[in-house]
Amino acid sequence: MLTYAKPIAAVTGALALASTLTACGGSSAASDEKIVTVYSADGLKGEAGDGWYDKVFADFEKQTGIKVKYVEGGSGEMVQRAVREKSNTQADVLVTLPPFIQQADAKGLLKAYTPKGADQVDGGDKAADGKWISVVNNYFGFVHNKKELPTAPKTWEELLDAKYKDRLQYSTPGVAGDGTAVLIKAMHDFGGQEPAMAYLKKLQANNVGPSSSTSKLAPKTDKGELLVANGDVQMNFAQSKSMPNLGIWFPAKDGGKPTTFALPYAAGLVNEAPHTENGRKLLDFMLSEAAQREVSAIGGGFPARKDVKPTDANAIALAKLMDGVEIFEPDWSDIDKNLTTYVDAWKSATGS
């Protein structure tokens, strides 16, 4: 079972390309450029430029002179894009949620590298062969509109009530990391694939429909367009600073305890990257003590390094939020191996 103080997080839809990418395929000219390109799941960059990425990237550029070019999307979306570009690699660093970081490794997208500070990251939060490592820990969760729904639902079964019809939405499994997390948690809480799919089939009557972006669901929930949506602790906690109606909660199966699991932002160096050395420097920087101390205070997440123990107001609030929530450890190797089967079962059950 995972110990507390590990989170990760979240995921999304439309691609956002900060600036025009240079397609240099790993030439010596490319390696001399003072740039590094990051493909990442959404959640760590603030909508108002006030997220953990914003601070870390700015500090990195100031210290090294290397400019970060940033592309974000759903976890699966980022992996698929990197696969399409294998003959002309664009990204230097890939940051995504499990099981998509394992999927990226299986597709030959990642190059082994052990960043400075990796010895302070728990074994379950990094690959044994150095292909990836968590940079921000996080947990899967749900959000509700505190104004229209002051008391969060307690169970999955409550969400079948007619009052949630067209007021409930979760992101698409297989595309968004947090959407895939819905399947993982449902299969755990209901005791297997079949009962989980039977439940999700019933829930579909209330579901608004697919969404490739988890981060877009929080604003809809804050405005009251939705009463309930999926998300993750880090992303939603950060969003709640500018979305006062957003509340975080964790469903339980009727008669059981609320549960969640760690969903970290895991980073890896991209194989055949055009700016490999700059990618190494950025991974070192993200795992530095200084950057890790800002994970909770700025990003609303949990440090990946176990020797960094924040005491800021956000860290205290996050600890309180997680109190009483049972944390389970998914079998990531099984999920990586059978993800397509699980997603196909979900599509069949829901008619998606």
**For the chain, how big is the Rg over CA atoms in Å?**
19
Cβ neighbors of 96 (< 8 A, separation 6 or more) are 11, 39, 40, 41, 75, 78, 79, 104, 177, 265, 266
Helix (H) or strand (E) holding 136: strand 133-137
Q: Lowest-pLDDT range, 14-18, 52-56, 144-148, 259-263?
A: 14-18
Closest by Cα among 107, 111, 89, 80 to 36:
89
| Buried-state track 73-105, b at ≥16 Cβ within 10 A, e below 16 | bbbbbbbbbbeebeeebbbbbbbbbbbbbbbbb
In sequence order, which residues have a C-beta less than 8 Å from that of residue 311 and are 6 or more positions away? none
Residue 12 pLDDT more than 60? no
Q: What does the pLDDT read at residue 31?
A: 58
- List, for residues 87-125, the tens digit of each pLDDT value: 999 999 999 999 999 999 999 999 999 999 999 999 989
Closest to 317 measured CA to CA, from 289, 290, 294, 296: 296
252: β partners: 155
What pLDDT, on the 0 to 100 scale, is given for residue 46?
A: 87
pTM of the model: 0.82
Over residues 204-254, the pLDDT tens digits come to 999 999 998 898 999 999 999 999 999 999 999 999 999 999 999 999 999
pLDDT of residue 196: 98
Tell me, rounded to whole angstroms, the distance of Cα 34 from its chain centroid.
28
Report pLDDT digits (tens) over 62-82: 999 999 999 999 888 999 999
Predicted local confidence at residue 20, as pLDDT:
38
Question: In terms of pLDDT, which residue wins out, 141 or 46?
Answer: 141
Q: pLDDT band for 133, please (50, 70, 90 cuts).
A: very high
pLDDT at 331 over 80: yes
Q: Is the pLDDT of residue 16 over 80?
A: no
Residue 146 has pLDDT above 50, yes or no: yes
Kindly tell me if the per-residue pLDDT of 8 is higher than 90.
Answer: no
Convert the pLDDT of each residue in 153-195 to its tens digit: 999 999 999 999 999 999 999 988 899 999 999 999 999 999 9
Mean pLDDT lowest for which of 46-55, 196-205, 317-326? Answer: 46-55
Phi/psi at 71 (5° precision): -130, 130
Residues β-bridged to residue 142: 230, 249
Nearest C-alpha neighbor of 294 from the set 95, 51, 122: 51
Is it the case that residue 143 has pLDDT exceeding 80? yes
What does the pLDDT read at residue 47? Answer: 81
Average pLDDT over the chain reads 91
Question: What local confidence, expressed as pLDDT, does residue 213 receive?
Answer: 84
User: Residue 305 gets which letter from DSSP?
Assistant: B
Taking only the tens place, the pLDDT of each residue in 279-310 is: 999 999 999 999 999 999 999 999 999 999 99
Residue 333 banded pLDDT, cuts 50, 70, 90: confident
